[in-house]
Amino acid sequence: MAGFRLANVRLFAMPEDWPAAWDFYANTLGLTVTSLALEAGIVVFQAGEISLCVERVDESERALVGRETGIGFRVENAQATCAFLESRNVEITGRPEKQGWGGILMHVKDPAGNVIDLAEYPK
C-alpha cells in the first residue's frame, strides 16, 4: 500500500462571508486560485504542496464554520507578517509568541471566522 500524503484542506463559510473569505486567501495572503466554481460555492487555492478549498455552506451546515481547523502556514518573519496583516485589518487572535519548540507562532481569523496559525520556524 502506498503512503498517504496530505492533499487538501477545507474551510467553510456562510454565504454572506464567502466572498470576503476567499478574497482574504487570494489577496491578503496571496495564494493562487486554481479553481473557482461560483454556483457551487467552491474556490480552490494552491498553498504550497497542498490545495486549500474554501466552501460556501448553507444554514444546515453552519456548525462547520469557524470550528478548529488546525491549518498552519509557514512564514519567514512572524513580526513582519503580523504588522502586514494588521495593516490589512486582519483580526489577530494571538500575537507572535516564542514557542517551546523554538519557533514563533501567531493566530489570525479569516473573514468567515476560521482561525489559522502562522508559524516562523527556527533557523
pLDDT at 122 over 90: no
Alpha carbons within 13 A on the beta-carbon side of 91: 10
pLDDT one-digit tens code per residue, 21-70: 999 999 999 999 999 998 989 999 999 889 999 999 999 988 888 776 77
Pairwise CA distance, residues 108 & 123, whole Å: 23
pLDDT at 77: 95
pLDDT of residue 63: 87
Average pLDDT over residues 81-102: 94
Average pLDDT estimate for 95-107: 92
Q: Are 12 and 5 in contact (CB under 8 A)?
A: no
- The CATH architecture assigned to 8-58+69-120 reads Roll (3.10)
Lowest mean pLDDT among 2-16, 90-104, 108-122: 2-16
Give the H/E segment covering residue 87. helix 78-87
DSSP H or E segment with residue 115: strand 115-120
- pLDDT of 1 > 60? The answer is no
Q: Residue 2: which pLDDT band, with cuts at 50, 70 and 90?
A: low
pLDDT at 3: 63
In whole angstroms, what is the distance from residue 117 CA to residue 105 CA? Answer: 7
Contact 14, 57 (CB under 8 A): yes
